């Protein structure tokens, strides 16, 4: 079968690999119809998370079940499914509590597992014609329709970025009427904005400096803020001051609410410096998020901070240790949520929003490609050029549909 493998820094290769075989009676084999390239894949592509050369990558996977083991009872050959990027057992302490992002049994090296990802266990990825699904009863989300229909791209986004964007809003305590600032207008930031709007947030700001991405944020109903035009936190304070309805309803003292209730970091440790965007500044967004939130507000870090990081600028950062404005954070009585998204907590509900026409996350998809184009697509997505925002790889007959 054809698959995309990591072959060293900024080197992805499409080549032939053996088709996976069932290893356990609880496994299923999936024929992939669509697979996404994620911003998280870029950390590996950039050499910022060490990965064995030859590893098949890709953790955003959907398709049709080709074969199931004898112990699989609720999924059968021919079923259309999407896989949460987290691989989980379903029976450990954390899985029982819905924390499938911290499954204790699937990764001997830590408390989380995923397809084709550094440090996430021995699982091949799904930027491939076939992928092996462990504990298929638990890890498959069943889908209606047929491959290539109007939902194909929406459903693919249920593997990661839609539930991840939604989870970011949970981490930052977004609820109806709240004000939200999101840093990063990549797929995760855009879908965090979309999820905030679905939840009924009063105002949603999205910060980035890539014009196509900011335009997409606006199209989704958010207020774009370009950090090339000056300090994004000050820009948000100014925009809020212009909202007369809000300003006129303040009692004395409440004018201190110059920021927002909720902030989301959808960038992570490869954040660029606001004033020198060609330079990396790993804590730029973390600092901005803490500054922009009003006293007693909440911050959600959904962009990743990973270690070891051989490409970091100093020894502490290589170990994942960063300065944190703890005094301001404490003084403002803020709360903080972090970590991978437990996709399975949300994917059924979000699927049903799609099926019932209440959500269309595929608005953020920018490119459909054939697997042979994957190496070039990684490169363009990494450089964020030509509107490369969300790239989906199509397989088999699907390439004609794309
Ligand atoms: N926690 C999870 O479960 C989870 C899941 C998926 C992705 N992620 C992470 O979320 C992050 C975003 O993913 P993505 O797919 O949207 O990636 P992406 O790389 O496409 O998007 C990141 C965006 O941040 C912008 N940016 C850089 N510096 C900035 C700054 N100082 N201020 C504002 N914006 C800035 C970039 O221009 C880019 O548009 C990545 O770190 C990814 O690894 C986390
Ligand atoms: Zn991802
Ligand atoms: Zn588990």
Q: How many CB atoms lie within 10 A of CB 318?
A: 14
Q: Which residue has tokens 């890539």?
A: 210
Nearest-atom number in ligand 1 for the CA of 101 is: 3
Q: How many CB atoms lie within 10 A of CB 42?
A: 18
Give 53-65 as a DSSP string.
TT-B---EEEEEE
pTM above 0.95, yes or no: yes
- How does pLDDT run across 174-211, given as a tens digit for each residue? 999 999 999 999 999 999 999 999 999 999 999 999 99
Decide whether any atom of ligand 1 lies within 6 Å of the 185 Cβ. yes
Q: Judging by DSSP bridges, how do beta strands 2-6 and 12-16 pair with one another?
A: antiparallel
Residue 386 has a pLDDT of 83
Residue 400 has a pLDDT of 53
Decide whether any atom of ligand 1 lies within 6 Å of the 186 Cβ. yes
Nearest-atom number in ligand 1 for the CA of 190 is: 16
With cut-offs at 50, 70 and 90, classify the pLDDT of residue 384: confident
Residue 402 has a pLDDT of 46
Whole-number Å distance, alpha carbon 364 to ligand 2 midpoint, is 15
Take atom 3 of ligand 1 and give the residue whose Cα is closest.
Answer: 340
Nearest-atom number in ligand 1 for the CA of 40 is: 43
- Judge whether residue 399 has pLDDT over 80: no
- Judge whether residue 131 has pLDDT over 70: yes
Contact (CB, 8 A) for 192 and 395: no
- How does pLDDT run across 81-97, given as a tens digit for each residue? 999 999 999 999 999 99
Cβ neighbors of 78 (< 8 A, separation 6 or more) are 64, 65
Cβ neighbors of 328 (< 8 A, separation 6 or more) are 290, 291
- What does the radius of gyration of the chain's CA atoms come to, in whole angstroms? 21
Take atom 19 of ligand 1 and give the residue whose Cα is closest.
Answer: 39
């Amino acid at each position: 079968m054809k698959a995309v493998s990591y072959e060293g820094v900024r080197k992805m290769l499409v080549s032939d690999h053996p088709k996976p075989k069932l290893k356990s009676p609880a496994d299923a084999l999936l024929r992939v119809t669509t697979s996404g390239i994620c911003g998280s894949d870029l950390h590996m592509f950039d050499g910022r998370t060490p990965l064995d050369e030859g590893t098949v990558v890709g953790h955003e996977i959907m398709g049709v079940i080709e074969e199931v083991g004898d112990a699989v009872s609720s999924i059968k050959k021919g079923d259309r499914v999407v896989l949460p990027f987290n691989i989980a057992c379903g029976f450990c302490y954390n899985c029982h509590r819905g924390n499938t992002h911290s499954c204790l049994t699937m990764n001997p090296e830590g408390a989380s597992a995923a397809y084709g990802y550094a440090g996430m266990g021995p699982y091949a990825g799904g930027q491939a014609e076939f992928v092996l699904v462990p504990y298929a009863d638990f890890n498959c989300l069943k889908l209606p329709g047929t491959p290539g229909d109007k939902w194909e791209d929406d459903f693919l986004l249920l593997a990661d970025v839609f539930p991840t964007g939604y989870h970011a809003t949970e981490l930052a305590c977004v609820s109806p009427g709240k004000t939200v600032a999101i840093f990063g207008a990549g797929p995760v930031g855009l879908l965090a904005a979309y999820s905030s709007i679905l939840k009924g947030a009063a105002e949603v700001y999205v910060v980035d400096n890539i014009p196509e991405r900011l335009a997409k944020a606006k199209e989704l109903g958010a207020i774009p803020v370009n950090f090339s035009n000056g300090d994004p936190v000050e820009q948000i304070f100014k925009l809020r001051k212009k909202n007369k309805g809000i300003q006129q309803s303040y009692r004395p003292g409440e004018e201190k609410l110059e920021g927002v209730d909720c902030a989301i970091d959808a960038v992570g440790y490869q954040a660029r410096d606001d004033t020198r965007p060609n330079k990396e500044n790993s804590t730029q967004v973390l600092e901005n998020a803490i500054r922009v939130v009003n006293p007693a507000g909440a911050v959600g870090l959904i962009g990743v901070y990973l270690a070891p990081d051989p490409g970091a600028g100093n020894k502490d950062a290589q170990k994942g240790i960063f300065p944190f404005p703890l005094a301001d954070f404490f003084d403002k009585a803020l709360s903080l949520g972090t970590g991978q998204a437990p996709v399975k907590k949300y994917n059924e509900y979000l699927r049903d929003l799609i099926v019932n026409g209440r959500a269309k996350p595929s608005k953020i998809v920018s490119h459909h490609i054939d697997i042979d184009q994957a190496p070039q697509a990684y490169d363009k997505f990494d450089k964020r050029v030509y509107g490369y925002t969300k790239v989906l790889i199509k397989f088999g007959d699907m390439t004609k549909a794309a």
